């Protein structure tokens, strides 16, 4: 399995379509040399400001998805 270091530089947009949430972003992606303690793990890093923005955008997308579900399934008891 290939592993990568992914550095998010800018979040551009987010949308959901057919069960997938797609994030458009500028990112720096570099192959990562495998290490013993984290074999097979890719790392996503971003500044705190970008992480907070991502959290807000994800919350908005989940709220939109919840609106599409029948009322009986919105309570979280699936």
Residue 6: closest CA among 50, 56, 53: 50
pTM: 0.62
Pairing of β 20-31 and β 43-45: unpaired
Per residue in 2-51, pLDDT (tens digit) is 788 999 998 888 888 877 888 899 999 998 876 666 567 788 888 898 88
Q: Residue 77: pLDDT above 60?
A: no
Residues 6+ apart with CB under 8 A from 12: 24, 25, 26
What is the pLDDT at residue 65? Answer: 80
The residue among 45, 6, 51 whose CA lies nearest residue 27 is 6
- In 10 A of CB 11, how many CB atoms? 19
Radius of gyration, CA atoms only, the chain:
16
């Amino acid at each position: 399995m290939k592993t990568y270091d992914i550095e998010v530089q800018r979040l551009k947009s987010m949308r959901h379509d057919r069960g997938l949430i797609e994030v458009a972003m500028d990112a720096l992606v570099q192959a990562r040399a495998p290490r013993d303690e984290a074999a097979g793990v890719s790392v996503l890093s971003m500044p705190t400001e970008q992480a907070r923005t991502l959290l807000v955008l994800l919350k908005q997308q989940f709220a939109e998805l919840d609106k599409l579900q029948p009322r009986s399934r919105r309570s979280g008891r699936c």
